[in-house]
Amino acid sequence: MSAEATNPEAHPEARPELRRRGRSRIDLRRLGRAALLGPTSRDRLPDAIGHVAEAHRAHHPDADMSILRRAYLLAESSHRGQMRKSGEPYITHPLAVTLILAELGAETTTLTASLLHDTVEDTDVTLDQVRAEFGDEVCFIVDGVTKVEKIDYGAAAEPETFRKMLVATGNDVRVMSIKLADRLHNMRTLGVMRPEKQARIAKVTRDVLIPLAERLGVQALKTELEDLVFAILHPEEYEGTRALIAAHAGERDPLPGIADSVRTVLREAGISAEVQVRPRHFVSVHRIARSRGELRGSDFGRILVLVGENADCYGVLGELHTCFTPVVSEFKDFIATPKFNLYQSLHTAVATPEGYVAEVIVRTRQMHRVAEAGVVALGNPYATATPDAAADPDEERVDPTRPGWLSRLLDWQQSAPDPDTFWTVLRAELAQDREITVFRADGGTLGLPAGASCIDAAYAQHGEAAHRCIGASVNGRLTSLSSSLSDGDTVQLLLAQDASSGPAAEWLDHARTPAARIAIGSWLETHPDRAMATTTAARAPLSVVGARGGGANAVADVPDATVRLAGCCTPVPPDAVAGFLVRGGAVTVHRIHCAAVAQMRAVGRTSVAVHWRATADCRVTLLAESFGRPHLLADLTEAIAHEGVEVVSATVEPPVEGRVRHTYTLQLPDAAGLPALMRAMRDVPGVYDVSRA
């Protein structure tokens, strides 16, 4: 398969929107081939990087081009005589990679490092030379890219490969940006390789590099990589999609007319906006065709509305929903709740009187730049650092623009027990296409993948100390650790004081993040006895019976009758009560509002008048619900004894999802002390509710 066959951009008939726009589009691949060194004076840029300079000035008008000139001259002289497998001079590759990044708006330091990214590995240029000529920043980035280039992807994309890649690139997202642009240019020229090698490289790109591009927000690279991979791995479906787009080119496209209507509506509303028709790329058309079946003209693209301010976005939305029929289910607000990769926009869909449904994206121009270029659009993340600060070359650099998911990857990759586990968890993490933000009780925030549970939040906040987690409160309500979290939830995590506490094996069933799963698995491996104990069959309830019992302190108007306080409602003085005669001549006493009272009357039980004795002592049954932890029964018993209350009996049920239920029958010297007793029991760490049975 030729490079042209794998590149949708090489088929103008498959991209009719380019002709409709009437705008010139730079063919980055063709320009890369033309990047031979031309005649130049000492003070002007070489002809070969004129397009790079033009693209760079479009985003950074005041950029110093002299450093690019020096970087190009060093790269060209170093690579002179080297050829690519396609037969082109090797310098065409770093030039094409740099042009890709310049089109995205990368700053000068990134472009300089991009021109030099292969010199240290493939030529006699050393890192010391790069540092002396271009400074520490460029040297750091070139070194990171060199480490990535030294990785051998192997026949099956070995897991250790990607661990090394993350370590090499994670400390500076600019390294990863150059790697993605490098892969894009290599994919464009992949046709010179054997089909089996094309497929291997395409699978690596699909499994890891495309998800990385998505998570870095670099949509311009991600969409083209998707199309190139699609053409190689699914040639028949690719050709079918190409035929669909080509057939659509000969039909009337309703989107330009709808765009004109949108322009008219916004102009009359006094909103200054730029309205464009954005064609879908090949993979997007393929996905739409699979989900909707037969495609209509409006399915081949979307309408993009660009405005100046955030408030204008909502003004546009109001006009669209007023003047057209909105499809409510299609509305998404990614401005109020940005996606994990910095993406912000309003998404909606409107129906026209002709019956077409057009998807509309509304964003500011700055949002558009970030949506297309992601972290590349953020510039130099270290530009605001204090210039006089002495940098330690051995100290890890912390990138303020580093997304939360990338920080998590860098953290847990150090703890992954083996490459296979790392690879499995890496792919699962990259497959997560949505992230939620939850608020901590102390006011901080946690970024977690969608579907994360309280267990994930515990390990994200406390690390290995989360082994001692015994419960959680979400939005002020106590809940189990297995509960899933939603975007915007406030979570408070409860930790046991006993450092020997550990997670239960069933926590693995509810953990979604790599950090939580690896930490739990490691703890269970080092504590096999504790792990087995958590998975054994439910034990019989533990019962503790006091030395003596107490008689009922209720009196029935039946001579010599045995009086029993009902266990369903455990009445105590001064509760209003009702008595009923049951088998054996006994009288059972219920609180007047107990459900059993109505049942007794319904079956015709004889009602008996009852009253409380003058004595103040009483017997009561209390239920204490708590999170399981060592010594809990002892602490509760001590709290009860401190209130001067006698324990008649106690039953402790086996833990369920980390929660334990205790049932106590207690003899109180004075019924008036019941509220204080219940408060004292609630104050025991781990106890979250105490109620009468």
Catalytic residues: 121-122
- E strand or H helix at 351, and its extent? strand 346-351
Which of these, 53, 117, 127, 41, lies nearest to 79 by C-alpha position? 117
Q: Taking the CB of residue 670, how many other CB atoms lie within 10 A of it?
A: 13
Helix (H, G, I), strand (E, B) or coil at 477: strand
d(CA 539, CA 524): 21
- Map 654-674 to HEC letters: CCECCEEEEEEEEEECCHHHH
Give the torsion sign (CA, 437, 440, 445, 447): negative
Q: Are 563 and 587 in contact (CB under 8 A)?
A: yes
- E strand or H helix at 542, and its extent? strand 542-545
d(CA 341, CA 214): 7
Find tokens 């009359």 and name the residue.
268
- E strand or H helix at 410, and its extent? helix 404-413
Q: Are 505 and 455 in contact (CB under 8 A)?
A: no
Which of these, 433, 32, 414, 378, lies nearest to 176 by C-alpha position? 378
d(CA 58, CA 627): 61
DSSP H helical ranges for 576-687: 595-602, 632-642, 674-682
DSSP H helical ranges for 171-254: 173-188, 195-204, 210-215, 219-233, 235-249
d(CA 687, CA 173): 46
- E strand or H helix at 35, and its extent? none
Q: Are 95 and 68 in contact (CB under 8 A)?
A: no
d(CA 683, CA 356): 63
